[in-house]
Amino acid sequence: MRIGMALRATALALAAVTGLGLAATAPAGAAGDVDRYLDLPLVNRDAASSPGGVNPELPYDVNELRGLLDEARAQGVAPTRYAALLYQYWLVDATNKAGIDLRSWDPRAGVEANRTNLIRSYRYYEDLQLNHRELQWAGMGGQVGADFGGGLVDFELMGNIYGLPGLSESARGVIAAVEQAAGPQAVAQLPHGLMALAEAGSQISPEDLRYIIGMILVMQKNIFSDLMPMHDAYVTEGLPALQEFQAAGLFGDDIMEAWRGVASGDYGRIASGNGALLRREQEWVIRDQWDSVRGYKGSIGEAITYVSGAAGSPSVAGVAPPREFNPVRMQVTMANGQPALVTVPLPEWNWSEFDSRWDYITTELLPKYKFQVENNWPALEAVMRTPYEMQMESHRPLFNIPQLLDSAARQIQVTPIDTMAVR
């Protein structure tokens, strides 16, 4: 069996690099069937377009796709011409293994309709990590998915049943407390997201929440669709399968080098490779969509993206909540002329802004998850072996937002600068 896998990997590498033929190893259609699937654009690579796979012309049967793919290889077709076919094959294979029906996967249908897809996708991520210690991106994705999924469940429930009670009032309470403690100069320095929440919280409608939830679920599917075919190819056929991705133009030299690092067996290169995959996820896959959500209806999108970050409580051990990472700190001049530092236990940044989010990820999430994998694997494994439904249900933070804001208003600190301890 190992010899067979080695021969298969060698043939894949040759097909990827040179376009030379490869005899079909799975059932294919009649000769020439593959022609209709060549040069297809990836019109649905962004799941905001429609449900399903990467192009509506492509089939969903994994054996049919494999046969067509092998036919293209056997004919010496350049990988760039069968890129959509290659992508669809590995995406179908990954969703099948996760227990997700790709054809009907529609993120716009809302959280309840996608609840099973959320659970199964993140369960698949964690299983990859459990079975392959080097796949740290997958493990991080599974851990963070519990926070993400629980928050979405709350958002939908709040929108459909309760609305968003008390958000504007609580945000205004924070602003009033800041003004009382340090004056209008401090209020002028508060985060845009907090000010937007005070302004727009009472205006947020169920329709607004459904739109934003749909966009966030689109991002979740886009991340799965981009990264999971690579992971599936890696664990199934190794680096040669990923070289075919590169030859097809599905990613560039940077991602191929990242995967070589992941496969290297060297702790430093493994961490660096997984970090590059995470950067691709956050910047290439979803950056523009987060920007779009934040810009939705002006202060409404700003308010929702800010409060979702402020409420988050990460499940990765040792990682500080976003509200404790770069909290609001403002230098002001008090009425007596003395300079002071005002601290509010809320984030001064918005999770939807890439640079701030990446700073948090590289400072908190990446190094602390790496530490867990390398130094505390039994505890991490125990968490990941918990049924995913339980993991997600234990992270339902959003109903506590008014209480969190009210608590922040009570915990504002004003510290005269000349009495501060030298750090």
Domain boundaries, the chain: 1-99, 109-235+248-325+360-410
Residues 387-401 pLDDT 10s: 988 887 766 655 567
> How far is the C-alpha of 152 from the C-alpha of 111, rounded, in Å?
7
Coil vs helix vs strand at 341: strand
Backbone angles phi, psi at 420, to 5 degrees: -70, 140
Exposed, middle or buried: residue 48 (CB in 10 Å: 0-12, 13-18, 19+)? Answer: middle
**Closest of 203, 191, 192 to residue 167, by C-alpha:** 203
| Structure token pair of residue 133 | 């210690």
Coil vs helix vs strand at 174: helix
Backbone angles phi, psi at 241, to 5 degrees: -65, -35
Coil vs helix vs strand at 345: strand
The secondary element (H helix, E strand) that includes residue 234 is: helix 206-237
Q: In angstroms, what is the C-alpha Rg of the chain? A: 24
pTM here? 0.88
Q: What is the mean pLDDT of residues 326-341?
A: 92
The mean-pLDDT minimum among 6-15, 131-140, 355-364 falls in: 6-15
CA distance readout (Å), 344 to 44, 86, 226, 348, 363: 43, 51, 38, 9, 21
Share of the chain above pLDDT 70, in %: 86
The mean-pLDDT minimum among 29-33, 186-190, 318-322, 359-363 falls in: 29-33
Q: What are residue 422's DSSP bridge partners?
A: none
Residue 395, pLDDT score = 64
| Structure token pair of residue 21 | 């033929």
DSSP 1-63: -HHHHHHHHHHHHHHHHH-------S---STTGGGGGTT---TTSSTTS-SSSS-TTS---HH
**Is the pLDDT confidence value at 359 over 90?**
yes
| Structure token pair of residue 79 | 């990988």
- Spatial contact of 296 and 208, defined as CB atoms under 8 Å apart: yes
The secondary element (H helix, E strand) that includes residue 416 is: strand 413-416
Residues 67-93 pLDDT 10s: 999 999 999 999 999 999 999 999 999
Residue 271, pLDDT score = 96
**Closest of 162, 204, 222 to residue 301, by C-alpha:** 204
Q: What is the mean pLDDT of residues 117-128?
A: 96
> How far is the C-alpha of 401 from the C-alpha of 339, rounded, in Å?
32
| Structure token pair of residue 42 | 């990836």
Q: What are residue 330's DSSP bridge partners?
A: 342
Q: What are residue 328's DSSP bridge partners?
A: 344
How many whole angstroms from its chain centre is CA 288? 13
Residues 252-276 pLDDT 10s: 999 999 999 999 999 999 999 999 9
Q: What are residue 331's DSSP bridge partners?
A: 341
Exposed, middle or buried: residue 410 (CB in 10 Å: 0-12, 13-18, 19+)? Answer: exposed
Of these ranges, 141-155, 227-241, 325-339, 399-413, the one predicted with the greatest mean pLDDT is 227-241
